[in-house]
Amino acid sequence: MQRLQLLKDSFFGLDVVQQQVVIGSAVALAAGGILLYAAQRRNKVKTIPIGEGWWGAGEKTSLSEDKKVYPFTVKTSDEEIKDLHERIDKSRYADPLEESGFQYGFNSTYLKKVVSYWRNGFDWKKQVAMLNKYPHFKTKIEGLDVHFLHVRPPHRADQKVLPLMLVHGWPGSFYEFYKILPLLTQNHSGVAFEVVIPSIPGYGFSEAPHKQGFNSLAASRVFLTLMERLGFSQFYVQGGDWGSLITTNMAQMKPDCVKGLHINFGMPPRGFKVLLSTMIGRYLPFLVGFSKEDVRRLYPYFEKNVWETLRESGYLHIQATKPDTAGCGLNSSPVGLAAYILEKFSTWTDRKNRDLVDGGLERKFSLDDLLTNVMIYWTTGSIVSSMRFYKENLKGDPNKRIDSKTEIFVPTGLAAFPHELMHCPKSWAQLRYRNIHSYSFMPRGGHFAAFEEPQLLADDIIQFVQKVEKL
């Protein structure tokens, strides 16, 4: 009390100017303290629980988890190919509407040409040998046999080797990364990547979950365990489609392990800020942090984004509700499976391909590459389990999940390809990804970036990692 009285007496003993200086200083100190506190809270790295799971058949036992890593080889047989050909030969087709292109889905006139090549020209045994040119492995995690590639760069005494995990999405596979692999394992200014490419459980050669609930959070935990099992305490991650969500979750779970996160699919967030910036961004883009390129890609907003999303998301509603029903037919008919998968490689590469009778498929891809991806689904019978991944992730409002409410603080790079399904401006991405080191407007390409434009994507990953390493 005496100190307080002394302070009061000292203050009132000052003239008016001196009092104003003291008050101003106090206000400045208080404001500075508040800002410092807010900054500390904002920069505090928040994580989401890692959790645990068991997805194997039956009950978990003490002998269920074999932590060894085993070599794996992709195989085929004459019987497998004979069965495929017999099913193809019994396929039925519906005539397309006149001048419909791909507007109604995969045009059956062109589908017959693709299937004819599949039946008479495609060499699956040759493609299997090609798949095996990189080393494959399997290991059991949470009751599932998890398939992955592990590719090391050529040894050089003067280079630094950085671990990098690449994660695919739907309807892709580990094969999407075959063209980018040699670009990443080369030496770049003394740095090369040691690349791990897992198959999401339920996709390709990774065992499908036997229990409900396997979502992106579970996949992230499995992949973190995989990297730990391979001896990596710190590493980079990259993904598109589901891979972007899985790698984001990995960064949220263990930011001390994920040195950097690079994605080529940024999902626009929801909320008042996004709504407001959408309303005024076309007219006053500088007020909401939009660039001229953002404006060009976003507007007219309703026609170009909302309506296009509705047109292209029918598959999502099916797979998020009753995947087993539609999947039953796809798992029995190779031609139906090819039409269902390859139609996405047409439209998601460029929406203008819908106007073409051949869907523009061979503008970016070879039939050998496309059919190899289809064969990975067909020979493993994994289309149904891959579709279930939508059901598991969309059982409730995804915006209420803990990962949607948790910001990402690890260094982040985003490659925005012009023909991606949705455009996410940097100002929107920053609402979740709080530490963006690199945001690149890519000159061409769509949803399947590694498959379409491997050099562009590799260059962007490399420049992002180099920025992070300089820190």
- Catalytic positions, written as ranges: 241, 390, 447
Residues 6+ apart with CB under 8 A from 384: 323, 324, 327, 328, 330, 331
DSSP 8-state assignment for residue 46:
P
Residues 6+ apart with CB under 8 A from 463: 438
Name the nearest CA neighbour of 252 among 130, 412, 386: 412
CB atoms within 10 A of CB 312: 17
- How far is it, in rounded angstroms, from Cα 451 to Cα 290? 29
Residues pairing with 288 in the sheet: none
Structure tokens, 448: 């399947």
Q: Which amino acid is at 318?
A: I
Name the 3-class secondary structure at 95. coil
- How far is it, in rounded angstroms, from Cα 343 to Cα 346? 5
Angle between helices 108-120 and 367-380 in degrees, nearest 10: 80
Name the nearest CA neighbour of 358 among 107, 122, 112: 107
Structure tokens, 113: 């040409």
Could you tell me if 136 and 205 are in contact, meaning their C-beta atoms sit under 8 angstroms apart? yes
Please, where are the H alpha helices in 272-333? 272-280, 292-298, 301, 307-312, 314-321, 323-332
Decide the pairing of beta strands 160-167 and 136-141.
Answer: unpaired
Could you tell me if 307 and 470 are in contact, meaning their C-beta atoms sit under 8 angstroms apart? no
Phi, psi torsion values for 237, nearest 5 degrees: -135, 150
Could you tell me if 22 and 11 are in contact, meaning their C-beta atoms sit under 8 angstroms apart? yes
DSSP string over 131-189: HTTS-EEEEEETTEEEEEEEEPPPP-TT-EEEEEEEE--TT--GGGGTTTHHHHSS-BT
DSSP 8-state assignment for residue 436:
E
- How far is it, in rounded angstroms, from Cα 461 to Cα 450? 11
